[in-house]
Amino acid sequence: MTIKIFNTLSGKKQPLEPVEPGHVRLYVCGITSYDYCHIGHARSALAFDMIVRYLRYRGLRVTYVRNFTDIDDKIINRAAEQQTTPEELAARFINEFYTDMDRLGIDRPDLEPKATEHIGEMIDLIAELIDRGMAYQSGADVYYAVNSFPEYGKLAHRNLDDMQAGARISVNEQKRHPMDFVLWKGSKPGEPTWDSPWGPGRPGWHIECSAMSRKYLGETFDIHGGGKDLIFPHHENEIAQSEGVSGKPFANCWIHHGFVTIRDEKMSKSLGNFLTIRDILTHYHPEVLRFFIFSTHYRNPLDFSETAMQDAAAGLERLYACVAQVDAIAREKSTDPEGRISTKDIETINAIEDRFLQAMDNDFNTAQAQAILFDLAKIINRLCTDLPAAAAAADIAILDRAAGTLKRLAAIMGLLREDAAAFLKGQKEKMLAGLDIDEERIEALIGERLACRAAKNWTRGDEIRDELLARGIELKDGPGGTTWSVRRS
């Protein structure tokens, strides 16, 4: 089995063939740190977290680099608004970013370089571009000459003529070509500044990724990723810079994920429809967000709604309930000498992992992979339902192994990583918090109902059950007594 990935550059799915066999080098564009992260950032971080976990699961070594843009116009402007320095602002939001990422259970990349710590590398790169006649100084700025790179537009699948027809390009007297972009910006008074051969200034946005990826991953590496909105101009410009200097292919494969939308519109600050990660996490467990995000293929748009999150929570709870059921098997009562689970069921269980890997090998199809997890959960549930009280040790072992497979595969998406009973209890408490009733009162009513039922006073017993149901609490009478859950509205 080979891993196939959709490559934006070629427009096709292609087998992953690392430059160094067995070792994948991956660069992902991280955040510009000037504000709290929204669900779109979460999708990006989660998508690549899943990709890295999967590649490692498949036995590949991965070097994962994700940068921080900690100097840029937005940071400077926001710092001025908040009467602080760009350095302080950027550092603060990098910390906030880590808070969010940690809560989402996202593994840290291997390297997280910051732009401001690589000014020297950027200056070197710009100088090389000037030497090669691909960049020019104009006033206090340095620009990249797009005409010097004949393949400009190959990633976005456009050419310079198409783009100029758009005519949304601001006129800048200093540029030779309207599409030329800045590599080095002469600084204005009061702005952060670094010395350079072209005078004091700061780097343009695109050059940092070219400089840092070259330093940490080399001139040619395997995968470069980011959101679809980065295809043009950011990634196009990175290619122009990096290949302009090296004359070699930059990234062999480009992965771009889709947007998170709200009511089918892209989130944006101007529309006021963006939600921060921490907003979401006050209402939902991090794994619910993960489940939601991975319920759609990473390249497709994903529409956020309360309903979708409720559905995701219900689905995730179903998987957890399956694991909890296996955890709760009464092992000590095992006396059956012979297992009863059919060979057919065992074969189906054994085939799950291959099916899962096949789905994931196909451009990380997590939606399909989730469906396979549900197939496994369904079998486990059925076997548990049919399991006699004195189940055979062999059968219990099969169920334990199946539940282990479920958890192991789900963990690639960062799911089912908590103790099942604890997770379900947590969800229950979270939902209970939104209701006008507390646990003590519920237990008291259950106690009262138990007495009624013992006396076969079904009428009053049912009354209590209906009363609780009206307040959002569902009762379940099981062999081990009555338990309750919060009804999902």
> Binding of RNA at residue 168 (CB under 7 A)?
yes
Q: Pick between residue 119 and residue 384 the one whose CB is nearest to RNA.
A: 384
Give the whole-angstrom CA distance, residue 113 versus residue 120: 13
Compute CA 464 distance to the chain's CA centroid, rounded to the nearest angstrom.
44
Site string for RNA, 297-326 (x = CB under 7 A): x--xxxx---xx-xx--xx--x--x-----
Name residues contacting RNA, limited to 3-22 (CB under 7 A): 11
Structure letter (DSSP) for residue 487: P
User: Among the candidate windows 58-66, 277-285, 361-369, 394-402, which touches RNA by CB under 7 A?
Assistant: 361-369
Nearest alpha-carbon partner for 244 in 67, 126, 160, 118: 126
Q: Is 116 in the site for RNA (CB under 7 A)?
A: no
Told to check if 465 binds RNA by CB under 7 A, we report yes
Looking only at residues 49 through 78 of this chain, which bind RNA when binding is defined by CB under 7 A?
Answer: 74
Q: Is residue 381 close enough to count as binding RNA by CB under 7 A?
A: yes
Answer for which of 408, 422, 458, 467 binds RNA (CB under 7 A) is 458
Q: Which one of 49-57, 342-350, 432-440, 456-464 is the stretch in contact with RNA (CB under 7 A)?
A: 456-464
The distance of closest approach from Cβ of residue 131 to RNA in the complex, given in angstroms and rounded to an integer, is 25
| Pairing outcome for strands 265-266 and 260-262 | antiparallel
- Residue 312 neighbours by CB under 8 Å, 6+ apart: 288, 289, 291, 292, 295
Amino acid type, 352: I
Which one, 59 or 459, has the nearer CB to RNA? 459
Binding residue count for RNA, defined by CB under 7 A: 84
Which residues are CB-contacts of 159 (< 8 A; sequence separation ≥ 6)?
152, 153
Task: Decide if residue 32 touches RNA (CB under 7 A).
Answer: yes
- Name the minimum Å distance from CB 454 to RNA: 11
Tokens of 284: 């939902």
Give me the least distance between CB of 39 and RNA, in Å please.
7
Quickly list DSSP for 438-460: -HHHHHHHHHHHHHHHHTT-HHH
Shorter beta-carbon distance to RNA: residue 61 or 378: 378
Nearer to RNA, 312 or 392 (CB): 312
Measured distance CA(72)–CA(116) in Å, rounded:
10
Q: Are 245 and 286 in contact (CB under 8 A)?
A: no
Ranges within 225-284 binding RNA (CB under 7 A): 226-234, 257-261, 264-268, 274
Say which residues have a Cβ less than 8 Å from residue 454's Cβ, sequence separation at least 6: none
**Residue selected from 337, 385, 440, 470 as contacting RNA according to rule CB under 7 A:** 385
371 near RNA (CB under 7 A):
yes
Q: Is 347 in the site for RNA (CB under 7 A)?
A: no
Separation in Å, CA 9 to CA 19, 305, 430: 17, 32, 45
Minimum distance between the CB of residue 84 and RNA, rounded to whole angstroms? 20
Binder of RNA out of 370, 402, 416, 427 (CB under 7 A): 370
441: which 2 tokens?
């009162």
Residues contacting residue 387 through CB under 8 Å, at least 6 positions apart? 329, 395, 399
Minimum distance from residue 274 beta carbon to RNA (Å): 7
Euclidean distance between CA atoms 91 and 73, whole angstroms: 15
- Chosen residue from 88, 151, 354, 474 binding RNA by CB under 7 A: 474
The reply on whether position 453 binds RNA by CB under 7 A is yes
Nearest approach, Cβ of residue 189 and RNA (Å): 22
Whose CA is closest to 279, among 34, 39, 33?
39
x/- binding map, residues 174-213, to RNA, per CB under 7 A? -----x-x-----------------------x--------
Q: What is the 3-state secondary structure (H, E, C) of 54-82?
A: HHHHCCCEEEEEECEECCCHHHHHHHHHC
Shortest Å distance, C-beta 22 to RNA: 26
Options 83, 165, 433, 436; binder of RNA; rule CB under 7 A = 165
Among 166, 189, 190, 337, the residue binding RNA under the rule CB under 7 A is 166
